[in-house]
Structure 1
Amino acid sequence: MKVTRKVLGDAVEKKIISSEQADSLFVFLQSQSQDSARFTFTHVLYYLGGLIAIGAMTLFMGIGWESFGGGGIVLISLLYAVIGLVLTHIFAAKNLAIPAGICATFVVCLTPLVIYGLQHWLGVWPDHSQYQDYHRYVQWHWLYMELGTLIVAVIVAWKYKYPFLIMPIAVTLWYLTMDISVMIAGDDFSWQIRQLVSLYTGLLMIGLAFWVDIRSRYKADYAFWLYLFGVIAFWGGLSWQHSDDELSKFFYFCINLFMIGIGVVLVRRVFVIFGAIGCCGYISYLAYNVFNDSWLFPMVLTAIGLLIIYLGILWQKHEKAITVRSRKLLPSPLRELLESKP
């Protein structure tokens, strides 16, 4: 739960802690959470500004930059990178972890542009594509840019250890698997293969995120971006699959229910959100395609909803006992990970 001044004030009224202890505890909790991403106006400004700067050099890069030539693109990008590193050090020295992490991420996101300009400069870039296509099309010749970005990202993340630096790593891993698949499949790279690649890439990224989550359970949340893009890739690849088999559609529904359960256990909202969207999609399919003319279906669905509410009441009543018993059966690292969650 979120600890506010009101919560601490209620504790003072019930004589659980003193007024001085409440004030000291509130100051301590504020200092502990100042570097954690929260939905405050300050943090919104941080991320809005950072994403605009990153987007300007990645998603919104126009063809006007081509007029600088390969060498000009490299030099300008390196100048931006130096500015980003200087700002990272300035913010880090002032204990402003979030803007420092955003500036370090900005430097990593410049890497594909630098490699693109370098390849143009050396005359080894294919003439049929431009940098602004990097985020829109799957092409095998993006591989050098992606591998270079991963190397720089790992080095910068190892140096500065800001969780936001995992974001370009997650995105680049997703891009990399798609482009490697194009290189292997060649002209046979169909939409069906794209879906399967996305699905299995998502599974691998979720597995990597879980491993990172366990390894960093007492540190910062380094797994967030891996979970986010892993779930998007997996759920997208899964949802794009087409089947006329009702059993397969029900299996899809069960997978989404399982995602909700995983999200609750690991306290990861991204699993719950996409799992809920998938479940709602399946129920909508049943309502409009399978039981469209049935008067009984809404009644059964209402009964199921009430049953789930009742199960929630039972769970709340026995949650502590069930949690204690079930966690005794888990491996020590996983038990410690779950105990570290709120």
Structure 2
Amino acid sequence: MTDRIDAKDLARAVQAGILQPGQDQALLAFLHSQQPIRGNFQLAHVAFYFGALLIMGAMGWLLTEAWMRVGDWALLAIATTYVALLTLFALSLQGRGQPIAAGVLAAVAVSIVPLVVFAIQRLAGWWPLDDRQTDYHQYFTYVQGGWLLMEAATVVAGLLMLRLIPYPFIVMPIAVALWFMSMDLSEWVYGSPFTWDQRRTVSLWFGFGLLLAFLVVDGRTREDYARWGYLAGLAAFWGGLTMMESDSELGKALYCLINLGLMGMAVLLRRPVFMVFGALGVAAYLGYLSYEVFAESLMFPVVVTLIGLGVIGLGLGYQKRREQLSRAARNWLPGWLKAALPALRE
């Protein structure tokens, strides 16, 4: 782990004759110039992402009706200023060697693009919906074909931003815009009204397609774009799957099996996010069994507790032998499937 190597370690290597005098300083400078390794998530990074989410929320789904009353010109000026200043600040941070802070600010800039397009459409008379007073925050809560231009512009802006600042978090607003676009396009296919059953189905299949797309990307790019792509895909897929209702025990058991499959994918791909969603799904199924099927059983909570302890034990074992277990699991797969999976990451 290069983040644990310091000057004292390299000095001892020189004393032991492993490195020549002078090589320790050159190697230390090289290590310091490298990008932080994957998984080296510090408290400052949490602050970066949390701050970015606050700004996204403030300029998105938390935008109040009062903002709609300031006028479209003012709305356009404010949103454009936000995008421009955030982009310039992100480029400045990138130039000063702060890629994470730069990346999250760039993602925030992309997330405000729908508001810019919203104001432009209203000013130019291109607003396709009958109600000119539609609030912007409805973009995040209502499925409407009128949002398509806003979503397409967000995707294009995100791709352009990735060329300027190639940071994986920028994938998140792109993926969300594509998810919204899939919903809005589906309204054109299904017609109106667009029922919750249809929304769940679209979310499920869109999420599944997104997971497949980032499975292809995973391990094949310099930056870890798949990390946020998997999160967006799992949110859409798992959310659609979980909201589906089934009256049959077989359907509910199948739901549990799919979530167990997600946990298995965590082992194959070495992506903890699959384990999180899969564990939530299994917990939901066990909760159903507890309250519906085994409501009168005294032993059921005890059995589930033992299962939970066993899972924790397996988790501890996996943490110690992650590399060996991942390789062993892959050895059971056919060659063509192993070739499709991303290479094991050190």
TM-score, normalised relative to structure 1:
0.82
Structure 1 residues 49-58 or 293-302, which shifts more?
293-302
Q: Note closer, same or farther for the CA distance 1:264–1:68 as it changes in structure 2 (3 Å cut).
A: same
| Aligned equivalents of 1:257, 1:17: Cα separation in 2 | 51
Q: Check conservation: 1:58, 1:110, Cα contact below 8 A.
A: yes
1: CA distance, partners of 2:156 / 2:295: 54
Q: 2:140 is matched by which residue type in structure 1? A: H
Of 285, 289, 292, the match for 1:289: 292
**Alignment CA distance shift 1:328-1:140 (3 Å):** closer
Kept in 2: contact 1:35–1:96 (CA 8 A): no
Distance 1:308 1:63 in 2: 48
1:140 to 138, 145, 148: 145
CA-to-partner distance for each residue in 1:210-256, whole Å, 9 max, x for gaps? 1121422xx12101111111111111111111112111111111111
Computed over aligned residues only, the root mean square deviation of the Cα atoms, in angstroms, reads: 3.7
Matches within 5 A, 1:322-333: 322=328, 325-326=331-332, 329=335
For 1:314 and 1:105, how far apart are their aligned partners in 2?
Answer: 37
Q: In structure 2, what is the equivalent of residue 224 of structure 1?
A: 227
- Residues 224 and 309 (structure 1), Cα distance of their counterparts in 2 relative to 1, 3 Å cut: closer
Cα distance, 1:151 vs structure 2: 1.2
* Partner amino acid, structure 1, of 2:139: Y
Q: 2:206 aligns with which of 177, 181, 201?
A: 201
230-239 or 311-320: bigger deviation: 311-320
In structure 1, which of residues 175, 196, 203 is the aligned counterpart of residue 180 of structure 2? 175
Q: 2:276 — aligned with what?
A: 273
> Using a 3 Å threshold, how does the CA distance of structure 1 residues 243 and 25 change in structure 2: closer, same or farther?
farther
Q: CA deviation at 1:135?
A: 1.2
Q: Give the share of equivalent positions with the same residue, in percent.
A: 34
Deviates more, 1:204-213 or 1:128-137: 128-137
Are the aligned partners of 2:94 and 2:165 in contact in 1 as well (CA < 8 Å)? no
| Pairs aligned (count) | 334
User: Does structure 2 retain, via aligned residues, the 8 Å contact 1:111–1:148?
Assistant: yes
Is residue 140–residue 183 contact of structure 1 (8 Å, CA) maintained in 2? yes
Which residue of the partner structure matches residue 215 of structure 1? 220
Structure 1 residues 104, 308: CA separation in 2 closer, same or farther (over 3 Å shift)? closer
Query: Compared with structure 1, are the counterparts of its residues 302 and 131 closer, same or farther at alpha carbon in structure 2 (3 Å cutoff)?
Result: closer
Does 2:115 align with 1:106? no
List gaps (5 residues or longer) in structure 1: none
Map Cα deviations across residues 102-137 of structure 1 (whole Å, 9 max, x no partner): 222222122111111111111232325121211122
Give ranges in structure 2 of 5+ residues lacking alignment: none
Task: Please give the alpha-carbon distance, in whole angstroms, between the structure 2 residues aligned to 1:299 and 1:229.
Answer: 35
**Deviation (angstroms), 1:142:** 0.6
